[in-house]
DNA sequence: GTCTATAAGATGATAGAC
DNA sequence: GTCTATCATCTTATAGAC
């Protein structure tokens, strides 16, 4: 039973959660301290500044998300199933207390971050596009998809779409909206 | 020559600008005061609380955006031209100091707002969908568009897409990305 | 590693003079 | 309407004891 994580990881977990729910400028070290059950000063030991924390969280989030994408790719699914799995990852985020993709949130608050962090964000978006393009290419070979533009263009469109769909669904507060959007989108690719 | 607006409108203009650039939690009354050239206390005379301000700004933004959409509709353009005009409004926002749509930004910071304001946000998104659906329906009659799902579904997808495209383009910092996305998207509708 | 204590400044907001 | 003055609170961050 490993119910007690180490403090550093707990801080990062709560930090991730808070950014996804409230945004970087919407919480403080006091919020993390309370949630983790330590004092504010202890957080500074692990992450001297708030930006150090968010940068570490971003790095881990991207790695974790890439792992999940890889897991979908390795499942025994046809290309349509894999694309549905992709949208499913964004759906899970919404279902989890109406969180937003960390990178969407941070892109909205871009003003608050230095170039170093901005570059990390774009790696995330590009990795998404690349993953989707692979699936689209596979699906086209199988005759599962039918669209008139290149796989690269279509992939970029789908990533932009899912980011916007997540944002609007969260605003509406009804996961059904996301499901309808994704379902329609999948239909439009046939 | 009306170079000097009244204070109230100046506060709202700067307030709008700051939310679009930094987000609601990314600026303070001090920032507005400095930009407008008044003292913090004077802002409280016009808008007792920060939420009063953002609510007024949101209302005006929505009205203004609806007017712009109406103007596009009244232009002598075919349905494709009108849809391009729609995307163009989001492009203009990006070009204007890399601003984000006020409602995308506020949707990201949803946690900070009461239900009253959240409802206003959704009116904006629905109005966008409705406008796009009209244009798609017109275009389908003219044979200008070709897509397999309903106009309502396609309109919702396009609005989600443009929100995501704006967010990702801003993160990348290259307006060319937005242009490519929109161009591909328009192609995919033929 | 975590704590107490504290700093130095920002923040949203109010009271009351002009 | 706008100002000065002030408030209570929050915020990020540091120093130093344990």
For all residues of chain B together, what is the average pLDDT? 96
Radius of gyration of chain A (CA): 18
How many structural domains are present in chain B?
Answer: 1
Tell me which nucleotides of strand D come within 7 A of a protein CB: 1-6, 10-16
- Please tell me the predicted confidence (pLDDT) of residue B2: 43
Distance between the alpha carbon (CA) of B65 and the C1' atom of C13, Å: 32
- Structure tokens, B69: 């959409």
> Is residue B28 included in any domain, yes or no?
no
pLDDT digits (tens, 9 = 90+) for A109-141: 999 999 999 999 999 999 999 999 999 999 999
Residue A103 has pLDDT above 70, yes or no: yes
The CA distance from B167 to A103, in Å, is 10
B111 → closest Cβ in A26, A112, A167: A26
CA B97 to C1' D11, whole Å: 28
Confidence of residue A5 (pLDDT cuts 50, 70, 90): confident
Distance A25 CA to D11 C1' (A): 11
Domain that holds residue B147: 55-188
Query: Element (H or E) spanning A104, and its range?
Result: helix A102-108
Instruction: Please give the torsion angle defined by the CA atoms of residues B173, B175, B176 and B180, in that order, rounded to the nearest 10 degrees.
Output: 110
- Residue A65 sits in a domain whose CATH number is 1.10.357.10
- Closest partner residue to B111 (CB to CB) among A22, A163, A184 is A22
Q: Does residue B175 form part of some domain? A: yes
User: Within its chain, how far is the Cα of B181 from the centroid?
Assistant: 18
Spell out a b/e string for A109-123, using b for 16 or more CB atoms within 10 Å of the CB, else e: bbebbeeebbebbbe
Is A79 within a domain? yes
Residue A146 · residue A80 · CB < 8 Å: no
Q: Is the pLDDT of residue B1 over 90?
A: no
Nearest residue to A12 via CA among A39, A32, A30, A40: A32
- Note the pLDDT tens digit of each residue in B66-110: 999 999 999 999 999 999 999 999 999 999 999 999 999 999 999
Q: How many beta-carbon pairs below 8 A join chains A and B?
A: 155
For residue A148, the model assigns a pLDDT of: 94
Express each pLDDT in B112-168 by its tens digit. Answer: 999 999 999 999 999 999 999 999 999 999 999 999 999 999 999 999 999 999 999
User: By the 8 A CB rule, do B38 and B7 touch?
Assistant: yes
Greatest alpha-carbon pair distance for chain A in Å reads: 58
């Amino acid at each position: 039973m490993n119910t007690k994580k180490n403090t550093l990881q707990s801080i990062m977990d709560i930090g991730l959660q808070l950014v996804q729910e409230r945004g970087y400028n919407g919480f403080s070290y006091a919020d993390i301290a309370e949630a983790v059950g330590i004092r504010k000063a202890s957080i500074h030991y692990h992450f001297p500044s708030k930006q150090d924390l968010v940068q570490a969280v971003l790095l881990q989030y991207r790695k974790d998300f890439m792992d999940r994408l890889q897991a979908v790719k390795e499942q025994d699914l046809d290309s349509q199933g894999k694309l549905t799995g992709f949208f499913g990852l964004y759906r899970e985020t919404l279902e989890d207390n109406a969180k937003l993709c960390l990178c969407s949130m941070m892109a909205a608050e871009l003003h608050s971050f230095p170039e170093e962090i901005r570059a990390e964000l774009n790696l995330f978006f590009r990795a998404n596009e690349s993953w989707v393009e692979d699936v689209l290419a596979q699906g086209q070979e199988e005759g599962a998809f039918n669209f008139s533009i290149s796989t690269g263009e279509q992939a970029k469109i789908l990533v932009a779409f899912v980011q916007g769909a997540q944002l609007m669904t969260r605003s509406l507060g009804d996961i059904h909206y996301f499901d309808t959007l994704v379902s329609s989108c999948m239909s439009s690719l046939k």
